[in-house]
Structure 1
Amino acid sequence: MRKKTIAFLAAAMAGLPTWAEGTAAENDSTASRRDLGEVVVTGTRQPAGLDLLPMTVSIVDRGDLTADYRMSVMPTLMEQVPGLMVTSRGVMGYGVSNGGSGGMMLRGVSSGGGQIMVLIDGKPQYSGIYGHSVADSYLTMMADRVEVLRGPASMLYGSNAMGGVVNIISRRMHTDGVHTSLSLGAGSYGTVQAEASNQVRAGRFSSTVAAQFGRSDNHRPDMGFYQYGGYVSLGYDLSGHWNIFADADVTHFGASYPGTVSAPMLEADQWITRGAVAIGVENRYRNTSGRISVYDNFGRHKINDGYAAGSGTPQTRLFRSRDALAGISWYQTASLWQGGNVTLGMDYQHIYGRAFYTSRETGEVLETANKQSGHVHNNEVGVYADIRQDFLRWLSVEAGVRYDRHSATGGEWVPQGGIVVRPTASAEVKAMVSKGFRNPTMRELYLYPPSNEDLRPERMMNYELSWRHRLLGGLLGYGINLFYIKADNIIQTINRKNVNTGKVENSGIEADATFAIDSRWSVTTNHSYLHQARPVVSAPTYKGYIGGSFHSNGVGVHAGLTQVAGLYTAVGSDETKTDFTLLNVTVDYRLCKNVKLWVKGDNLLGQRYEIVAGNPMPKATFMAGVALDF
């Protein structure tokens, strides 16, 4: 397997410059698609060029997100972002609780442990009780692009951004007009998906409205999944410098879990509703800009834990929970002197959670022992300052610090610093040192017998060195980065009690490249290698992807090959690793100006593999559908 991995990496990376030599002058129209002039908001709160920032940020634009007609952004992120692994268990749906998937693993750090934060337009999205993101909430219909900051981002975003952030930038209409789209599809295992959206821009007013529905029987008995949701975004320009906005999204899904192959279960069902609302005001002037927003991210969960097939008895009660993450976020950036940018910000969060059980028969709330129920409020406030100074045209230095205070765990200082050297106008060398941290969750502090109110925050230091280069007027771009992370105070359950005892020490290399060959052909590839002193589940030693797109005369083809090697599905005395290679292909045809027909196949090599232990993934699956735009 190691030889195959090395060959896969070498062929993907070495071939790109060779192709470039023969196509340098063919087409400059696609130069701006990738590295040339890329601007992000995740690393600075305000738009800034990647060539000025010391952190590592991957951008997945809407073209990539919609190329394979997927309802969720998660599988596309796994392909496009070096080192990012997303767990999965079926054709559609991730679920939560026992048997749930959709956890993200980046550099050996897990979103399932609340160590990677998901944001929507910079606002945090996670369960107030368990501290983790809920993957089924992150839908393609709302996303204009996704920015993934690899490495700690706690200086800007506080707790839970310990290992990185995934920032979903919502769709906006920027030019006057109306645009409506509709996509319908159906395929293997009774899978059906539908999505519709409408965007309007009329003078100062703009809106985006979207809705979706999906369902699947999935490939195993008693593994059904359904989901429906909607998204609304409204904006109004008060003047040339001020605008207001309001966003709301809600999704509801139901999922069944059949247990592992060796320990099947019955009636393990869940019904989950997640939503988020936000309202805010932005200002943009020549030398200063900022935003203040108020938001609420909430959830309602109902879960039947099920029982063992053949030997168990049905549950007489249901687990219920309600949680909310409400807050205020403010920041202002100003250029007060030549080449200097200063950002000041403040975040306040009120974290609420209630967990309880109800009778299946009567619906009444039940009394429980052993801390199985709880009702808790916590507060967290953070203030931060960040300074970036550009010296001449070839050097930028950035430094920032945050002070964060949590009502249960106290205060935490979070420093960050980096440097960017630009030896040429199209290349950068970057060095970065950053700290990340995570406060313990309500579950770890108060819920269930292992809970411990004396827990302290988890802490991590990240050291990173990277090189990025653009060639052929931006048609070809590549990057390589090395990282070393060391964490302590990791919360583990020892002798039936949560304690700060775990450690993480990982190092690795990540590489990516993109090449717009001409107006019809493009290719992208990324690779990562991870060394772990203490292996964790769902963290692969190697992950690689190579994908290509072709568009001509109304025909579009998008193909991607993903290879995963040394993926841990179990650690400790039962350590288990697996390898697999996935081939996915999508073909579409523009029937007329407003109509496309599409068909796609996933896992076309028919691989037998598991990402979550005991939960085999489906072999080849197919879908077909129609997309309308007008």
Structure 2
Amino acid sequence: MFMRIPNGKKILLALASLLLCFQFSYSQSPIKDSVRLEDIVVTGSKIEISRKLVPLSVSQVSRKDIENSGQINILPALNTYVPGIFVTERNVLGFGVSTGGSGAISMRGVSGSPNTEILMLIDGHPQYQGIFGHPLADAYVASDVEKVEVIRGPASILYGSNAMGGAINIITKKQREEGLKINLGAAYGSFNTQKYYGTIGYKKDQLSVFASVNHDQTDGIRANTDFNITNGYTKVGYELSKHFDLTADFSIAKFNGNDNGSVYAAPVPFNIDITRGKASVALENKHDKLEGAFKLYHNFGTHDLSNGFHSTDNNSGLMFYQTLRLFTGSNITVGTDIKQYGGKVNQTAVKDSLITVNESAVYAYAQQALLDNVSLSAGLRLEHNSKYGTELVPFAGLTYNPSLHTTIKTSVSKGFRSPTVMEMYLYAPNPELKPERMMNYEVSWLQSALENRLQFDFTAYLIKGTNLIEVTPGVPPVMTRKNLGAFTNKGLEFSTKYFLSQNLYLNVNYSYLNLEKPVLAAPRQQVNINVNYTYKIWTLNVSSQYIEKLYTFIVSTPTQLTTKTLNYNLLNARLSAKPTKSLELFVAGNNLLNQKYEINYGYPMPGIYFNTGFNVRL
């Protein structure tokens, strides 16, 4: 099934040796409460459930992990903690849009250009621009996040289109402690990079409120690459009874950025001025035998680009699902999704015309325990799109627990992506396009040891994709899009968490990807090592990332394929001190090895750069 892994055995042996060395050293600092609880996730099942019972491959990144990474935006932090995922960057702040834009997410070599094959969710609601169908990476800030859950592989059974290659669910903060909580912070760093933020949380009896304001700005790595963003977020919750919770939230982000183009061409200044917003309301119910939610959401935005492009868009919908526990070991989830997305643009072909696409779906997902250690899962989704018709999405999985600390999982799942408004009507258009499709086959081994201080999982997968949308060769307006492409990806993923002591924590992940065809921003091998050590008031976080054979440039003609690949190794460190219970001071250094590299072709990343700042929690 898998080809020989170049240097893969050496890397895994080195990681195993590193773990063994740490094992001998940990005994100097015994862990007092050594039994650590397993991860509880919601993204892979719609309800809270142990990660080892979900047949899908699910990773969880905690709030503490995000803080230790020192990242302002969520997506780069996922590179450190989640195997098989890679996010493109081009500046210290600001992913941008259009030509040269970054923030593309590749998962197991599946991404899309722009990213339309990995679904971004906020509290379970789909988040993407209504016309181009991709998320706006700049809108996801770290201060509003409680944790992030990632489905590595198709999630279309639960979330429909755009979850073809996987799903990333950002779960936002909710005030849980009684009283008033205030958090203030600021940071300053290289390239005149600045961050300011404040959050406030209040809870009294059944009422909870959380609100935040953020402002980030930078002069950029090169001339005319400055960027600034201001965003606000509010979440209000009310416990109607012990069985019903009502939640409403609203967020707005305004950002402006400049792009000077590739360093390999004459400067071409380009400006973006974008406003994005989101509002949602959810009523959740939880009983012994019945659990679920009814959710309404609305995403909206205005995009103004210096090339004259102007658009307004929206993505709105409702979600309703219920999980029934008819008897011990049985979960049956049934649900429906209804959404509408689209917008207006000032382009000649569809000037000022409101173009919308409607989607509706019903699905059922069931899990049944057999004997004491086997659980079977199966699901089916029927989705109808107003432009291309009906899509059937099956899923099947099995989990086997030979012991309390060992889990074997396997699954077969289908992913799909419906064409975007842009693909059908704007650039190289074809309104007759059909959905992209892929099948994913995988098997996983989850293991814990040393009273849960050591946890690891190992996954092997095979992906077969068909019907990919590609642009046919030609000169505009002759160019068009057709369902032409196919691909086969194979890979391995390994991740481990090791709590050596109360003060020392190790997180390592490794991924290997074998591509039938080269794909941008999909490295063949990736190793991430993250070490976190606390001593009295001090906390040191050191992270290393090794990237091998990253495609940064691909040009294909009928007679020739031209590619450029890159290897690099990054080393970052963050040192913080808490002289008082409420005050934290920190300094962080990035790319300490001063690597020369670029992820987006023609956009070199900075050498060594620093930032310092403070957080106050009241």
TM-score clears 0.5: yes
* CA–CA separation in structure 1 for the residues paired with 2:414 and 2:32: 40
Matched, 1:57 2:58: yes
* CA–CA separation in structure 1 for the residues paired with 2:363 and 2:471: 33
Partner of 1:533: 516
* CA–CA separation in structure 1 for the residues paired with 2:281 and 2:351: 35
Give 1:38 deviation, angstroms: 1.1
Partner of 2:96: 95
Partner of 1:386: 365
Matched, 1:620 2:608: yes
For 2:50, give the aligned amino acid: G
* CA–CA separation in structure 2 for the residues paired with 1:7 and 1:614: 32
* CA–CA separation in structure 1 for the residues paired with 2:176 and 2:371: 34
Give 1:180 deviation, angstroms: 1.2
Which secondary structure does the structure 1 equivalent of 2:98 belong to?
Answer: coil
* CA–CA separation in structure 2 for the residues paired with 1:10 and 1:205: 52
* CA–CA separation in structure 2 for the residues paired with 1:225 and 1:480: 39
Matched, 1:16 2:29: no
Partner of 1:342: 332
**Per the alignment, do residues 484 and 3 of structure 1 end up closer, same or farther by CA in structure 2, a change over 3 Å counting?**
closer
* CA–CA separation in structure 1 for the residues paired with 2:259 and 2:132: 20
For 1:562, give the aligned amino acid: Q
* CA–CA separation in structure 2 for the residues paired with 1:409 and 1:54: 30
Which secondary structure does the structure 2 equivalent of 1:575 belong to?
Answer: strand
**Pairwise mapping of residues 434-449 of structure 1 onto structure 2 (< 5 A)?**
434-448=413-427
**Pairwise mapping of residues 547-586 of structure 1 onto structure 2 (< 5 A)?**
547-571=530-554, 572=556, 573-586=561-574
* CA–CA separation in structure 1 for the residues paired with 2:380 and 2:342: 27
**Pairwise mapping of residues 484-499 of structure 1 onto structure 2 (< 5 A)?**
484-495=462-473, 496-499=479-482
Which secondary structure does the structure 2 equivalent of 1:610 belong to?
Answer: coil
Given that 2:344 and 2:351 are in contact with CA atoms closer than 8 Å, whether structure 1 keeps it comes out as: no
Normalised TM-score (structure 1): 0.93
* CA–CA separation in structure 2 for the residues paired with 1:404 and 1:425: 38
Given that 1:246 and 1:277 are in contact with CA atoms closer than 8 Å, whether structure 2 keeps it comes out as: yes
**Pairwise mapping of residues 269-288 of structure 1 onto structure 2 (< 5 A)?**
269-288=271-290
Partner of 2:459: 481
**Percent identical:** 34
Partner of 1:26: 30
Could you report, residue by residue, the CA deviation over 1:49-75 in whole angstroms, capped at 9, with x for unpaired residues? Answer: 112111100100000111133221111
Aligned length: 602
* CA–CA separation in structure 1 for the residues paired with 2:569 and 2:25: 30
Given that 1:373 and 1:447 are in contact with CA atoms closer than 8 Å, whether structure 2 keeps it comes out as: no
Matched, 1:517 2:500: yes
Given that 1:291 and 1:331 are in contact with CA atoms closer than 8 Å, whether structure 2 keeps it comes out as: yes
Give 1:248 deviation, angstroms: 0.9
Equivalent residue in structure 2 for 1:426, among 381, 405, 413: 405
Given that 2:82 and 2:509 are in contact with CA atoms closer than 8 Å, whether structure 1 keeps it comes out as: yes
**Per the alignment, do residues 566 and 374 of structure 1 end up closer, same or farther by CA in structure 2, a change over 3 Å counting?**
farther
* CA–CA separation in structure 2 for the residues paired with 1:14 and 1:5: 14
Give 1:31 deviation, angstroms: 4.2
For 2:382, give the aligned amino acid: Y
Partner of 1:472: 450
**Per the alignment, do residues 605 and 114 of structure 1 end up closer, same or farther by CA in structure 2, a change over 3 Å counting?**
same
**Per the alignment, do residues 116 and 30 of structure 1 end up closer, same or farther by CA in structure 2, a change over 3 Å counting?**
farther
Give 1:298 deviation, angstroms: 1.1
Give 1:338 deviation, angstroms: 2.1
**Pairwise mapping of residues 140-539 of structure 1 onto structure 2 (< 5 A)?**
140-305=142-307, 318-356=308-346, 368=348, 374-448=353-427, 450-495=428-473, 496-539=479-522
Which secondary structure does the structure 1 equivalent of 2:16 belong to?
Answer: helix
Given that 1:507 and 1:531 are in contact with CA atoms closer than 8 Å, whether structure 2 keeps it comes out as: yes
Given that 2:105 and 2:115 are in contact with CA atoms closer than 8 Å, whether structure 1 keeps it comes out as: no
Which secondary structure does the structure 1 equivalent of 2:158 belong to?
Answer: helix
Given that 1:31 and 1:516 are in contact with CA atoms closer than 8 Å, whether structure 2 keeps it comes out as: no
* CA–CA separation in structure 1 for the residues paired with 2:16 and 2:161: 36
**Per the alignment, do residues 583 and 3 of structure 1 end up closer, same or farther by CA in structure 2, a change over 3 Å counting?**
farther
Which region of structure 1 is more displaced relative to structure 2, 373-382 or 436-445?
373-382
Given that 1:374 and 1:447 are in contact with CA atoms closer than 8 Å, whether structure 2 keeps it comes out as: no
For 1:29, give the aligned amino acid: D
Could you report, residue by residue, the CA deviation over 1:579-599 in whole angstroms, capped at 9, with x for unpaired residues? Answer: 000000000111212111100
Which secondary structure does the structure 1 equivalent of 2:186 belong to?
Answer: strand
Given that 2:34 and 2:451 are in contact with CA atoms closer than 8 Å, whether structure 1 keeps it comes out as: no
For 2:391, give the aligned amino acid: E
Which secondary structure does the structure 2 equivalent of 1:464 belong to?
Answer: strand
* CA–CA separation in structure 1 for the residues paired with 2:513 and 2:233: 37
Could you report, residue by residue, the CA deviation over 1:474-533 in whole angstroms, capped at 9, with x for unpaired residues? Answer: 100111100000010000011311000101210000000110010111111000000000
Structure 1: 5+ residue stretches without partners: 306-317, 358-367
Which region of structure 1 is more displaced relative to structure 2, 348-357 or 506-515?
348-357
* CA–CA separation in structure 1 for the residues paired with 2:236 and 2:266: 46
Could you report, residue by residue, the CA deviation over 1:448-489 in whole angstroms, capped at 9, with x for unpaired residues? Answer: 3x2111100000000000101000111001111000000100
* CA–CA separation in structure 2 for the residues paired with 1:4 and 1:218: 36
For 1:208, give the aligned amino acid: F
**Per the alignment, do residues 4 and 558 of structure 1 end up closer, same or farther by CA in structure 2, a change over 3 Å counting?**
farther
Give 1:137 deviation, angstroms: 1.0
For 2:472, give the aligned amino acid: I
* CA–CA separation in structure 2 for the residues paired with 1:489 and 1:570: 23
**Per the alignment, do residues 232 and 430 of structure 1 end up closer, same or farther by CA in structure 2, a change over 3 Å counting?**
same
Which secondary structure does the structure 2 equivalent of 1:474 belong to?
Answer: coil
Given that 2:261 and 2:269 are in contact with CA atoms closer than 8 Å, whether structure 1 keeps it comes out as: no
* CA–CA separation in structure 2 for the residues paired with 1:499 and 1:374: 24
Which secondary structure does the structure 2 equivalent of 1:429 belong to?
Answer: strand
* CA–CA separation in structure 2 for the residues paired with 1:326 and 1:50: 30
Give 1:446 deviation, angstroms: 0.9
Give 1:442 deviation, angstroms: 0.3
Which region of structure 1 is more displaced relative to structure 2, 560-569 or 23-32?
23-32
Given that 1:273 and 1:299 are in contact with CA atoms closer than 8 Å, whether structure 2 keeps it comes out as: yes
Give 1:267 deviation, angstroms: 3.2
**Per the alignment, do residues 622 and 324 of structure 1 end up closer, same or farther by CA in structure 2, a change over 3 Å counting?**
same
Which region of structure 1 is more displaced relative to structure 2, 477-486 or 64-73?
64-73
Which secondary structure does the structure 1 equivalent of 2:375 belong to?
Answer: strand
Normalised TM-score (structure 2): 0.95
**Per the alignment, do residues 546 and 62 of structure 1 end up closer, same or farther by CA in structure 2, a change over 3 Å counting?**
same
Which secondary structure does the structure 2 equivalent of 1:16 belong to?
Answer: helix
Could you report, residue by residue, the CA deviation over 1:371-420 in whole angstroms, capped at 9, with x for unpaired residues? Answer: 57753011000100010011233111100000000000100000001000
Give 1:202 deviation, angstroms: 0.8
**Per the alignment, do residues 392 and 179 of structure 1 end up closer, same or farther by CA in structure 2, a change over 3 Å counting?**
farther
* CA–CA separation in structure 2 for the residues paired with 1:116 and 1:574: 26
Give 1:11 deviation, angstroms: 1.9
Partner of 2:579: 591
Partner of 1:543: 526
Give 1:13 deviation, angstroms: 3.3
* CA–CA separation in structure 1 for the residues paired with 2:416 and 2:43: 18
Partner of 1:315: none
Structure 2: 5+ residue stretches without partners: 474-478
**Per the alignment, do residues 139 and 17 of structure 1 end up closer, same or farther by CA in structure 2, a change over 3 Å counting?**
same
